[in-house]
Amino acid sequence: MFDVGSGKKLLAPLAVALLVVGCGGGGGTSASTPSPFDGDQSQVLTLTIRNDQMDVARVSLFINGARQRLGEVRGNASRTFNVPMAARDPVRMQFDLTLGARCVTRDVMLGPGETVRVTIPVNLSMMAAVCSGT
């Protein structure tokens, strides 16, 4: 499921395994803390990914068709990525599990200042995503 917020919250099923841009890394339930040297945080999309799978998920975002590699999210862990964005654009997320599936979400219009939460469920058929290799 993914949850988009920017003052209001929208809930929708996670629609394939590609979403919005981010940074790298992939630890337990850690979140990226913005640095005072990172600039204006209103110009970033904040993406938190919860990986309920046992395998590591390598995550990429496609913003307006351009691919950005975010990093890895370990199994049974969460990670937050801050992705610079200048305008509202179509965003899609892709993730590859270490031992199998590659999933891609549908495009979602997102922009700077928004917060998105994505869950990669244990049962990938519960996602509104296109998965191959499962």
Residue 20 binned pLDDT confidence (cut-offs 50, 70, 90):
very low
The whole-number pLDDT of residue 35 equals 55
Each residue's pLDDT tens digit, 66-111: 999 999 999 999 999 999 999 999 999 999 999 889 999 999 999 9
Return the CATH architecture of domain 2-32+40-124: Sandwich (2.60)
125 vs 4, which has greater pLDDT?
125
Question: Domain-by-domain residue ranges, the chain?
Answer: 2-32+40-124
CA distance 27 to 130: 26
Phi, psi of 42 (to 5 degrees): -75, -10
- Judged against a pLDDT cut of 50, whether residue 31 lies above it is answered with no
Average confidence score pLDDT of the chain: 79
Residue with tokens 């939460």, as numbered in its chain: 117
